[in-house]
Amino acid sequence: MSDTRNDTSAAHEENREETPGKAPGGTGGSTGIDPAVRADLTRLRESIDNIDAAVVHMLAERFKCTQQVGVLKAEHQLPPADPDREARQIARLRELAESARLDPAFAEKLLNFIIAEVIRHHETIADGAR
């Protein structure tokens, strides 16, 4: 397996860089940083910011769909959780992560977090339907 530390940790580490006179993660003050390096950091951070925005919008779209699923489940007295579906999704996401050179364990943790939130929403919807 490839070194996934670079794939999953690099984005976190880029925000931890300390610049004199600024809090960690800041881009203020040019003291001690080569202008070419600063330009690269700025360019990369702008890309990261755009990706973060896309992730938030994609999650919002996903939750719109799962809210509709929750309504259907409540209307038909189906349980909020579907362990078989969740297991298939986790396996599918792990495979996608591997092909994308993302740590599959990280991808699974992320999906488990999202699934837990979806189930919580479904339970709330079901409680409101009773």
Exposed / middle / buried, residue 118 (Cβ in 10 Å: 0-12, 13-18, 19+): buried
- How does pLDDT run across 24-62, given as a tens digit for each residue? 455 555 579 999 999 999 999 999 999 999 999 999 999
Written as one string, the DSSP assignment of 75-101 is: HTT--S--HHHHHHHHHHHHHHHHHTT
Q: Given this model, what pLDDT does residue 30 score?
A: 57
Q: What CATH number has the domain spanning 14-129?
A: 1.20.59.10
Look up the pTM and report it.
Answer: 0.72
Q: Given this model, what pLDDT does residue 129 score?
A: 79
Q: Given this model, what pLDDT does residue 31 score?
A: 73
When pLDDT is cut at 50, 70 and 90, the band that residue 87 belongs to is: very high
Enumerate the domain spans of the chain: 14-129
